[in-house]
Structure 1
Amino acid sequence: MTVLTTAADTGSAAFTANADAMRDALAGIDAEHAKALAGGGPAYVDRHRARGKLLARERIELLLDPDSPFLELSPLAAWGSDYPVGAGVVTGVGAVEGVECVIVANDPTVRGGASNPWTAKKTLRAMEIAEQNRLPLINLVESGGADLPSQSEIFIPGGRLFRDLTRLSAAGIPTLALVFGNSTAGGAYVPGMCDHAVMVRGRSKVFLGGPPLVRMATGETSDDESLGGAEMHARTSGLADHLAADEYDAVRIGRRIVARLNHTKTGPGPQAPAADPLHDPGELLGIVPADLKTPFDPREVIARVVDGSEFDEFKPDYGAGLTTGWARLHGYPVGILANAHGVLFSAESQKAAQFIQLANSSHTPLVFLHNTTGYMVGREFEQGGIIKHGAMMINAVSNSTVPHLSVLIGASYGAGHYGMCGRAYDPRFLFAWPSARSAVMGPAQLAGVLSIVARESAAAKGREYGEEQDAAMRAMVEQQIEAESMPMFLSGRVYDDGVIDPRDTRTVLGMCLSAVHSAPVRGTDGFGVFRM
């Protein structure tokens, strides 16, 4: 392989300014992550601890293999909404008894673990990851069911949670429920629909309707234990497969269940031992300019992510606006597509389509590094076929069956977001750097388009169009689009799987590659009709 060199001047004022801007952005992300870690706040955390209970992340830590990493997903879900950051649930991928699993843990310090609309969206995304990658799903349950004031937004989509649990089981993907407290109403169906259910004596309460609801509906008077206690379900209803003495015992039992699953990876393992990049991943902080209009060489990113900084480039002299090539990452072979400058022309589009076909023919996963303003517009390019060539790239991405991993490192605008395998194109995992921006187009371009349309509309109606009015409109629109393009806004809507520190990119992608190889890795030769 070819070893990438670097031209980055790490001592320059520009590099230092870029790194400082990235650190500032990371500080803002860290502050929002801290809100998710705080759960329902000190009062509710203290009350939970006073009951002798563990917090959601403490349960996860006990469940995971000692000193093994946990790839938390969507920690900023619900950011910018009326619901707490984190959406009242913790999700992620980690190893249990050597088996990579998806873990979903209700946070009972947030409204008793009740599910709001963002809880459902975040949980469904975690279950989708479990299904796509054949990863066992472990639910750490303590939930009051639906958050009743938001029932109109949760009731219909929330039903997919139960449907998907049964589909995972039908696909041979194990599902577990470790119940630590109340699991009421809709929450009761989680242990009911999982393959394995563990309940804690004196703590777990699983019922469709609690004593007050039962009394109102039927006139029957009953207590928690006889209606839905752990011992009742272990001895009478049969819902509980295992009766744990306490939370620690429940985690121990859960680990032993996973150990006995005989669940193995069906994809190939790494082809070679992992080799650290020759160039310092810490330098990724200064590679991407603070001003995304300033171009940068994506090979500087690749050189700090892939094994040994080795990269065999494909068509380096054709369609130079898109860098494509082959590498290994933590020993796994990958194909990489990285935007070298913002615009995708016909050559870049055709090059991408061919490269994706080659990756499928060799069953090689693809990594997309986004920094694009979209496909080129203008008379020359329309006449040259940019629509059909862009469609060719999007066709290839849409029908490719090898695993796709996407990282938004800079701009990701317009149909370029689609062609580079944005969220709508089902990458197995998608993460963003704090420097990323994504929208239908850049803020200034969008405001400018609206200004032109408004001017032409006013002229057609014979009305005056004032410059002050135009300037105010443009400023308002640019401010709105800039805010809606930010990583926290997009991550809050679960449009990515998390905003990551650039220095962690290699580790995150390595964990993702290990996870996707739990399922078969196969390409396709069926891409439909390419318009030539």
Structure 2
Amino acid sequence: MTVLASSLDTAGAEYAARRAAMLDKLAGLDAEHAKAVAGGGEKYVARHRARGKLLARERVELLLDPDTPFLELSPLAGWGSDSPAYTVGASLVTGIGVVSGVECLITANDPTVRGGASNPWTLKKAFRAHEISLANRLPSIHLVESGGADLPSQKEIFIPGGALFKFLTRSSAAGIPTVAVVFGNSTAGGAYVPGMSDHVIMVKERAKVFLGGPPLVKMATGEESDDESLGGADMHARTSGLADYHAVDEPDALHTARRVVARLDWRKAHPDPPPAAPPAYPEDELLGVVPGDLKVPFDPREVIARVVDGSDFDEFKPLYGTSLATGWARLHGYPVGILANARGVLFSAESQKAAQFIQLANQRDIPLVFLHNTTGYMVGKDYEQGGIIKHGAQMINAVSNSRVPHLSVLMGASYGAGHYGMCGRAYDPRFLFAWPSAKSAVMGPQQLAGVLSIVARASAEAKGTPYDEDGDAALRAMVEQQIEAESLPVFLSGRLYDDGVIDPRDTRTVLGICLSAIHTAPYAGVHDGYGVFRL
């Protein structure tokens, strides 16, 4: 039998302490998510509603098929930004949802935040959404109400911002449908979103699409004009032809968008699998798996047992390279290969095992799931002499050149080159999520502070000067505090180094949505004619 047996003591004090710590982290995460949902705050939400308009997430909800999930992406974008003008969420909602039976990438401007104007974080978030749409061939629907660039930050927006139009045109050229629904202002650069979309819907007496509004036209040409004649929905439906559909109100516009998607006759490259058996253990128990101190190892099989179908896991090389668990499973019916850090450190055996396993997955066209809890590759004289660099390089080479889709979840530590070998953000996983317990940096705070201290002490010794022990203690404390803050998932998610910080209990659902999205596009592993090297 390959059903995993669990040794997690859910009645023990240690489990209870871990669970309580995770729930505390989740409460903090909920508070940060609430800031994104609040948008521009009560004043601007009330003003928006007084105009008879729906909020961004309400528009998304009406667009989606009833009782279907919406996987919101990068909800904490812009968290910790230096500018108070850039709210959490970056004035944009993005995510994956089902519209008329079709999985779509959805974006929605939040007009309660500076009129939906784009700031640098908005761009980063929008770019990431377009990358996901292109990589997975997901039709994209853009719910538009934006005043264009946030002018005080134009120096950071104007030049890179043009890539938004590039993404739209490349999607269309690749045969991936793009739909724009315009609810209000879509000015200047924002006018090119409907201008470059395949299908355009505008709301009567609400949508305003023009390169330059009446004030700019007056300044540039001296011409007197008004919003409606210059860029209103009626004009674009009757005169310019930019609007394909003229909706009477917002619900009608969203209904029309659903009909447009229904008429796409969109087909996935891979059929959906049959219904799958749930895990043999409750997903709720994932709250008590990760220790509060990430130096304490935990068995990732406890996670796998609560995520994969039937808790059924065929482990590959279970007696070799035991700090890395590798094996085959199904998740919501989709076959996957899993690489999960078991004791943090990656040695030569683990690196070679991973490289071989990745080759096997490519030979069989099976997507890979990476579950992170690693402090990096092992250091020390014996390990250097044993070839840890070249063996780690084999693993990173395999990850870099693998062509099957990758999904990554940061559960605990994800430090140093181990983050790279386990398919961190720089290695283009299709999706990457983090648990609230995760931390990621070049190394742990204490190790990094200690390295700086050793270097400073050696420098003082070389110069023959006395070493300031009090200054060293203060420096170490400051560095540890800084690195700890910069390693936290909300900080990293704010910079879009992941696609969101998720509740561990939602891991199976989130991965299932991602796997379904991945199978919209065709993919194949590396088939180079050499077969699998036994590294």
Same fold (TM over 0.5): yes
CA apart distance, 1:269:
2.7
User: Aligned-pair RMSD on alpha carbons?
Assistant: 1.3
Match of 1:186 among 186, 189, 209: 189
- The separation in 1 between residues aligned to 2:529 and 2:294, in whole angstroms, is 33
Aligned residues of 1:389 and 1:531 also touching (Cα < 8 A): no
Q: What corresponds to 1:58 in structure 2?
A: 58
| 1:410 alignment partner, SS class | strand
Alignment-mate amino acid for residue 169 of structure 1:
S
Aligned residues of 1:56 and 1:90 also touching (Cα < 8 A): yes
Q: What corresponds to 1:72 in structure 2?
A: 72
Aligned residues of 1:396 and 1:527 also touching (Cα < 8 A): no
The CA deviation string for residues 67-108 of structure 1, in whole angstroms up to 9 with x for no partner, is 110000000000000210000000000000000000000000
Q: What corresponds to 1:44 in structure 2?
A: 44
Identity %: 77
- The separation in 2 between residues aligned to 1:282 and 1:410, in whole angstroms, is 18
Say whether 1:140 aligns with 2:143. Answer: yes
Aligned residues of 2:2 and 2:312 also touching (Cα < 8 A): yes
Match of 1:414 among 401, 413, 416: 416
Q: What corresponds to 2:306 in structure 1?
A: 304
- The separation in 1 between residues aligned to 2:225 and 2:367, in whole angstroms, is 56
| 1:206 alignment partner, SS class | strand
Q: What corresponds to 2:470 in structure 1?
A: 468
Aligned residues of 2:356 and 2:534 also touching (Cα < 8 A): no
- The separation in 2 between residues aligned to 1:60 and 1:377, in whole angstroms, is 49
| 1:421 alignment partner, SS class | coil
- The separation in 2 between residues aligned to 1:531 and 1:143, in whole angstroms, is 55
Listed as ranges, the matches of 1:4-403 within 5 Å are: 4-81=4-81, 82=83, 83-270=86-273, 272-403=274-405
- The separation in 2 between residues aligned to 1:527 and 1:431, in whole angstroms, is 34
Aligned residues of 1:74 and 1:497 also touching (Cα < 8 A): yes
Scaled by the length of structure 1, the TM-score of the pair is: 0.98
The CA deviation string for residues 159-208 of structure 1, in whole angstroms up to 9 with x for no partner, is 11111110000011000000000000111010001001100110000001
| 1:36 alignment partner, SS class | helix
- The separation in 1 between residues aligned to 2:248 and 2:300, in whole angstroms, is 54
Aligned residues of 1:68 and 1:94 also touching (Cα < 8 A): yes
CA apart distance, 1:530:
8.8
- In the superposition, relative to structure 1, how do residues 527 and 64 fare at CA in structure 2: closer, same or farther (>3 Å)? farther
| 1:373 alignment partner, SS class | strand
Aligned residues of 1:410 and 1:433 also touching (Cα < 8 A): yes
- The separation in 2 between residues aligned to 1:14 and 1:89, in whole angstroms, is 40
- The separation in 1 between residues aligned to 2:446 and 2:163, in whole angstroms, is 39
The CA deviation string for residues 411-433 of structure 1, in whole angstroms up to 9 with x for no partner, is 00011000000000111110000
Alignment-mate amino acid for residue 209 of structure 1:
G
Aligned residues of 1:108 and 1:142 also touching (Cα < 8 A): yes
Match of 1:494 among 469, 479, 496: 496
Alignment-mate amino acid for residue 517 of structure 2:
A
| 2:162 alignment partner, SS class | helix
Listed as ranges, the matches of 1:404-443 within 5 Å are: 404-443=406-445
- The separation in 2 between residues aligned to 1:531 and 1:221, in whole angstroms, is 75
- The separation in 1 between residues aligned to 2:268 and 2:255, in whole angstroms, is 23
- The separation in 1 between residues aligned to 2:309 and 2:503, in whole angstroms, is 19
Aligned residues of 2:148 and 2:186 also touching (Cα < 8 A): yes
Q: What corresponds to 2:3 in structure 1?
A: 3
**Which ranges of structure 1 fall in alignment gaps of 5 or more residues?**
none
Q: What corresponds to 2:447 in structure 1?
A: 445
Aligned residues of 2:356 and 2:533 also touching (Cα < 8 A): no
- The separation in 1 between residues aligned to 2:423 and 2:392, in whole angstroms, is 13
The CA deviation string for residues 238-270 of structure 1, in whole angstroms up to 9 with x for no partner, is 111111111111001100000011111012432
The CA deviation string for residues 467-509 of structure 1, in whole angstroms up to 9 with x for no partner, is 1111100000000000000000000000000000000100100
Aligned residues of 2:143 and 2:180 also touching (Cα < 8 A): yes
- The separation in 2 between residues aligned to 1:246 and 1:370, in whole angstroms, is 47
Q: What corresponds to 2:484 in structure 1?
A: 482
Alignment-mate amino acid for residue 13 of structure 1:
A
Q: What corresponds to 1:521 in structure 2?
A: 523
- The separation in 2 between residues aligned to 1:510 and 1:86, in whole angstroms, is 24
CA apart distance, 1:274:
1.0
- The separation in 1 between residues aligned to 2:381 and 2:175, in whole angstroms, is 53
Deviates more, 1:156-165 or 1:100-109: 156-165
CA apart distance, 1:527:
11
Alignment-mate amino acid for residue 306 of structure 1:
V
| 1:31 alignment partner, SS class | helix
- The separation in 2 between residues aligned to 1:527 and 1:122, in whole angstroms, is 39
- The separation in 2 between residues aligned to 1:252 and 1:522, in whole angstroms, is 36
The CA deviation string for residues 21-42 of structure 1, in whole angstroms up to 9 with x for no partner, is 0000000000000000000000
CA apart distance, 1:526:
4.3
Aligned residues of 1:392 and 1:531 also touching (Cα < 8 A): no
Aligned residues of 1:79 and 1:86 also touching (Cα < 8 A): yes
Alignment-mate amino acid for residue 237 of structure 1:
S
Aligned residues of 1:15 and 1:287 also touching (Cα < 8 A): yes
Aligned residues of 1:399 and 1:527 also touching (Cα < 8 A): no
| 1:479 alignment partner, SS class | helix
- The separation in 2 between residues aligned to 1:56 and 1:359, in whole angstroms, is 40
Scaled by the length of structure 2, the TM-score of the pair is: 0.98
- The separation in 2 between residues aligned to 1:468 and 1:335, in whole angstroms, is 51
- The separation in 2 between residues aligned to 1:216 and 1:349, in whole angstroms, is 64
